[in-house]
Amino acid sequence: MRDPLGPPFQTNLVWGQRFIQTSLSLCSRMENIQATTVPVDLHHCPSLKKPKKDCAEQDYKLYRETQKKTKLSIVGAQRISALRKGLDLDGHSEKRLVVSVDGSYTNESVLKKLDKNVTLIGRIRKDCRLYELPDCSETNEKGGKRVYGRELPTPEQIRQSQDYEWKEVKAWAAGKVHTFPVKTVDTVRWRNLINQFRAINWTDSVKINFSDFVTMENKQRSTKNNPIHVLSNLFYARN
């Protein structure tokens, strides 16, 4: 936002404030009707000030650790958990909490910390890897229990496939009830390894061993006051 006290010939910018807001949707009856949203939580999530280049190594490590704890996805998971516990204390433990979030919250940091009786609705990548649940009798190569079953098509492949039927659902949007065609796949598991496979493909193309790539990347990450990793930048530029 622009500083209103600044001169008209110079654009002076001021730091904005970052918040996470949670609103409850209230319906007069359980039908496809317009809902009224009421804010119930507003949490301040300021960005950390980056230390100077000549700061002590201990201060920089503290900054990196604190930065991980103040990520929006981490704080968002904490606010969802606080809302669920608040509803339980108010005597609504039997009611399911359905949370609709932005795509930046559909990640491991949020999904693995959801409380019981909480359903999360969010957007995922159209090329993400989905798997069926494994058979209880199946074991992996090391003899342990398998976590993932048979690999399923990606969401984009499911959308284009004729093997999955379209279903019609009705929902309120833009002032009236609309009918939306959707496809559903029940009970899947998501393996988020897309960046690793891209790295393997890139190292193969330039004849670099992937283990050597990881070793060089870790050395770059451990360099003091070097938040920008040359190998990572080069890798993402090539992909």
| Residue 126 CA: distances (Å) to CA of 55, 158, 159, 183 | 42, 9, 9, 13
Q: Among the residues of the chain, which ranges form H helices? A: 57-69, 72-89, 108-111, 155-160, 194-205, 210-222, 230-238
- Helical packing angle, 194-205 and 210-222, nearest 10°: 110
pLDDT digits (tens, 9 = 90+) for 38-72: 999 999 998 888 888 888 888 888 988 998 888 99
Can you give the residue ranges of every domain in the chain? 1-123, 127-192, 193-239
Q: Give the pLDDT confidence score for residue 76 in this predicted structure.
A: 93
Percent of the chain with pLDDT over 90: 31
Q: Rounded distance, CA 39 to CA 44, Å?
A: 14
pLDDT digits (tens, 9 = 90+) for 127-184: 888 898 888 776 766 667 788 888 999 999 999 999 999 999 888 888 888 899 999 9
Exposed, middle or buried by CB within 10 Å (0-12, 13-18, 19+), for 79?
Answer: middle
Give the pTM.
0.68
Q: Rounded distance, CA 81 to CA 90, Å?
A: 14
Q: Rounded distance, CA 54 to CA 178, Å?
A: 58
